[in-house]
Chain A
């Protein structure tokens, strides 16, 4: 064997390849938007706005990516987020404190994760049906708690909500001469932290690699000595926990609970994961890709709005189109790869 092989760069793995495609498309799209649409796209605040608005989506997408890598699905994330928001708002308005509300959010998320994980991995019920029931339950509970929108009245929370990280270097001077610094919400920090933690979990922690293994080939994973059931169980628990965090971040962004909060979030999260290169069949995915998936999805929506397609339907039609494009791309790219291997 040649000693030089050690220095040779490895070809991209499936996950890296799909993620790279997404990142390239994201950058090209953003550059194109800067060149042709200008406006907000020229200011760094545009990116911060996208992050501020989508912090909780990024968090649940991370959870979905984990579950999807393990060849499962969790469609309850949006509904759980909504339930967490409503519960925490009512708790705070009922005289609760901040610390308690955070525990409540995590507790609700964890409870959903544990029940889903148990039913799916130990009772071997189809994940789609289980998390569908979870979604129904969470949505129903939200309206049972309150049909009407509830605003947080808690003062301590209001202070927490208004914490904004200001970055002067990326600010700009508005038309009226005032200097506007780039503003980032606390929730974005939480979201980015989640991305980093999950990235490390998936890459450097045994549990993470085991999730890849069960998604890649469940039978093999069993033969290799991995506890498949426990690993799958934990993947749903993590997803549930992240839904809890996402709920809290959502509340920090909106400051109010509403039964229709986070409607359709699960589908946006699945779309983010798919666009970011998570394979539908499991075993392949990358949480950084998911992050860029969310950003790509958001950018295209912004572009649609900025380019004058103001009609409300264009956003989701383009989302659907994007999703179709990426699903077909995955199918074609991976088919080609498996053929060239033979």
Chain B
């Protein structure tokens, strides 16, 4: 059964203004298989999924289901062709019952027969062994069960292709196992499942095939059992293993031998498991690991961005309490957040106002930075960081991504931090700006500032960091420095040591 092609996407192109998001990508899904779609940020997986579900219109290529060519213009079209998606965020209504969530919006007729719905829903829930009652309010179920209800809805709509977009990112181990059992059952029933995830181990546990995308292009399709984990990581990040071995260790970076600036023991937050960490003055370190490995959550805990739940922190050897961002700022820590749009820029305010914001907050309500001072600061940093903006009064939202990022960098540099945390400062910006930011990081370190640098691109981190902390599945699994600081070693540690 596994060789019968269910879905064939050929030469899919998708252009966005200025970017080719998908470049002639092929993807094949067979009946009764679980097919993992892998790739780092910007690889094009979510674009591919959105093309398939009708959220985006493709600019070129063909899609066939069971040999019939189809065109998909809306999510509704996709559903009519038997393609259903279960998204990472639950797209059901928590205030309705499980049964209602499975049937609402699907059938016509004015009346609702609750008994009938509950009976039908109950049968499907039992068939799929989903531990929920049809009469239960959806919001009272755990997230995993809610996800399964969404899957049950898709199954009941006679879907042939089921897309699971990051279904496990907010589930615990037990819930993940429940979900996997359901996926295997569906597979046995002949459904083709596209599984998008960041968790390598889960891919190896449940999938039959893996397709890897990188920079909007197809890297290849592999049988899961024939692709070692470390090779998968290499393909995702963009280096062949042989090539990695050849590179070997580049120049050895000296780790800073100055005194420790920041030290945390057992630090944990609502989103991060307890971890220990320290950084010396003038040191550049990195947190690496795939997306979802807990690298961002850990640095957010350092800054007090999420609710801190435990641990002891020392700065310059003195115990301090950091539970809110303002505490961290007063202790000389700055944090450039991962999501620039959501957590970084104040889009409608001017470049000037965005640059002085953090310094102003630290000075407080009653010590405003005067207009002339602010203008001087803004001009200074627009020049120093080469920010391309029409004027310092331009709303920051109208700048390009790279320049927005520089504005936020300027905002933190203006506070003259002792320790600067940069989470994905180079994401989605052009190569020139990337290099400028890397140089800036090294210069800051020379001046004695401690820097934590996070990037999806390992190369970039190797160029800047003298010590790498490797995370996998929300735990620190290794610390690399000196001779170990090379691509091969990083890949191996990320992938789990074997191979």
Contacts and interface: CB of A to CB of B under 8 A. Distances in A.
A–B in direct contact per CB < 8 Å: yes
Interface of A: 1, 5-6, 8, 10-11, 13-15, 204-207, 209-210, 212-213, 215-217, 219-221, 223-226, 283-284, 341
A223 B95 contact: no
Contacts of A341: 139-140, 142
Contacts of A205: 110-112
B493 to A, nearest CB: 32
Nearest to B153: A224
A8 B135 CA distance: 10
A216 B139 CA distance: 10
Given A204-B112, A215-B95, 15 more contacts: A5-B133, A6-B122, A6-B133, A10-B135, A205-B110, A206-B110, A206-B112, A209-B112, A213-B96, A213-B104, A216-B94, A224-B104, A225-B106, A341-B139, A341-B140
B105 interface: yes
Contact of B105 (A1, A11, A213): A213
A13 B137 contact: yes
A283 B95 contact: yes
Given A14-B137, A205-B111, A225-B76, A210 B91 contact: no
Interface string B76-92: 10010000000000111
Contacts of B137: 10-11, 13-14
B225 to A, nearest CB: 34
A75 to B, nearest CB: 24
B67 interface: no
Nearest to B102: A224
Nearest to A201: B110
A14 B93 CA distance: 13
B318 to A, nearest CB: 34
A220 B129 contact: no
Contacts of A207: 110
B93 A224 contact: yes
Contacts of B105: 210, 213, 221, 224-226
Given A213-B105, A223-B75, A14 B95 contact: yes
Given A1-B131, A213-B105, A220 B93 contact: yes
B109 interface: yes
- Going nearest first, the 6 A-B pairs with the smallest beta carbon separation are A225-B105, A216-B95, A216-B93, A224-B105, A283-B95, A223-B91
Contacts of B258: none
A317 to B, nearest CB: 34
B86 to A, nearest CB: 11
B96 A216 contact: yes
Nearest to B107: A206
Interface residues of B, number: 31
Contacts of B112: 204-206, 209
A317 B246 CA distance: 81
Given A209-B112, A225-B76, A10 B93 contact: no
10 contacts: A1-B131, A10-B136, A11-B137, A14-B139, A204-B112, A205-B110, A213-B105, A224-B105, A283-B94, A284-B95
B401 to A, nearest CB: 25
B33 interface: no
Contacts of B104: 209-210, 213, 224, 226
B90 A220 contact: yes
The majority secondary structure among interface residues of chain A is helix
B439 interface: no
Contacts of A206: 109-112
A205 B135 CA distance: 17
B126 interface: yes
Contacts of B114: 204
Contacts of A212: 93, 95-96
A315 B120 CA distance: 51
A95 B90 CA distance: 60
A36 B136 CA distance: 42
Contacts of B111: 204-206
Nearest to A226: B105
B100 interface: yes
A341 B129 CA distance: 22
Nearest to A279: B95
Contacts of A10: 133, 135-137
Among B95, B110, B129, B142, max chain A CB count under 10 A is at B95
Nearest to B135: A10
A221 B133 contact: no
A98 B142 CA distance: 56
Among A15, A213, A219, max chain B CB count under 10 A is at A213
A64 B215 CA distance: 52
A66 B142 CA distance: 29
B92 A11 contact: no
Contacts of B92: 217, 220, 224
Nearest to B106: A225
Contacts of B76: 225
Contacts of A11: 137, 140
Interface in B124-147: 126, 129, 131, 133, 135-137, 139-140, 142
A1 B178 CA distance: 14
A57 B110 CA distance: 28
A226 B101 CA distance: 12
A216 B100 CA distance: 13
A87 B106 CA distance: 43
A341 B76 CA distance: 33
A5 B134 CA distance: 11
A230 B53 CA distance: 24
A284 B94 CA distance: 10
A87 B11 CA distance: 67
Among B90, B94, B105, B126, max chain A CB count under 10 A is at B105
A335 B133 CA distance: 24
B249 to A, nearest CB: 45
Contacts of B139: 14, 341
Among B76, B122, B140, max chain A CB count under 10 A is at B140
A212 B131 CA distance: 24
A60 to B, nearest CB: 24
Contacts of B95: 13-15, 212-213, 215-217, 283-284
B96 A209 contact: yes
A10 B112 CA distance: 20
Among A6, A204, A216, max chain B CB count under 10 A is at A216
A209 B112 CA distance: 9
Nearest to B75: A223
A173 B433 CA distance: 92
Interface string B315-356: 000000000000000000000000000000000000000000
